[in-house]
Amino acid sequence: MSDTFFNPHQRATVEAAMARIIPTDDTPGAREAGCVDFVDRYLSGIGYIFAKPDGSGFEVLEGASAKAWMQRIEIMRERYVAGLLDLDARAHERFSADFVALAPQQQDDILHELEQAGTGAPRTLAVNDALAGPVSPQPALQQTSTEVDLDFLPLMVTHTRQGYYADPIYGGNRNRIGWEVIGFPGPASLKDVHIGRYTTLQYFAEGEADKVREFHDGL
Binding-site string for another protein from residue 155 to residue 174, where x marks contact by CB under 8 A and - marks none:
--x--xxx--xxx--x----
Q: What is the DSSP string of 40-64?
A: HHHTT-STTSSB-TTSSSBPPP-HH
- Of the ranges 8-16, 78-86, 90-98, 139-147, which one interacts with another protein (CB under 8 A)? 139-147
What is the C-alpha separation between 118 and 149, in angstroms, rounded? 14
Q: Which of 111, 150, 155, 177 binds another protein (CB under 8 A)?
A: 111
Q: Which of 11, 20, 41, 174 binds another protein (CB under 8 A)?
A: 20
- Of the ranges 5-13, 81-89, 91-99, 180-188, which one interacts with another protein (CB under 8 A)? 180-188
- Of the ranges 3-11, 86-94, 95-103, 200-208, which one interacts with another protein (CB under 8 A)? 200-208
Q: Residue 109 Cβ, how far from another protein at the closest point, in Å?
A: 12
Task: Determine, following the binding rule CB under 8 A, whether residue 106 of this chain makes contact with another protein.
Answer: no
Total number of residues that touch another protein (CB under 8 A): 77
**Which distant-in-sequence residues (6+ apart) come within 8 Å of 69 by Cβ?**
46, 49, 61
DSSP state letter for 181: H
Contact between 178 and 29 under an 8 Å Cβ cutoff? The reply is no
Secondary structure class of 34 (helix, strand, coil): coil
51 forms beta bridges with: 58
Residue type at position 31: R
Residue type at position 216: H
Q: Residue 12 Cβ, how far from another protein at the closest point, in Å?
A: 19
Residue 175 or 200 having the CB closest to another protein: 200
Contact between 170 and 42 under an 8 Å Cβ cutoff? The reply is yes
Residue 8 or 206 having the CB closest to another protein: 206
Q: Which of 16, 41, 87, 145 binds another protein (CB under 8 A)?
A: 145
Cα of first residue to Cα of last residue in the chain, in angstroms, is: 42
162's enclosing H/E stretch is helix 152-165
Q: Which of 32, 86, 98, 108 binds another protein (CB under 8 A)?
A: 108
Binding-site string for another protein from residue 44 to residue 83, where x marks contact by CB under 8 A and - marks none:
-----xxxxxxx--------xx--x--xx-----------
What is the C-alpha separation between 25 and 111, in angstroms, rounded? 19
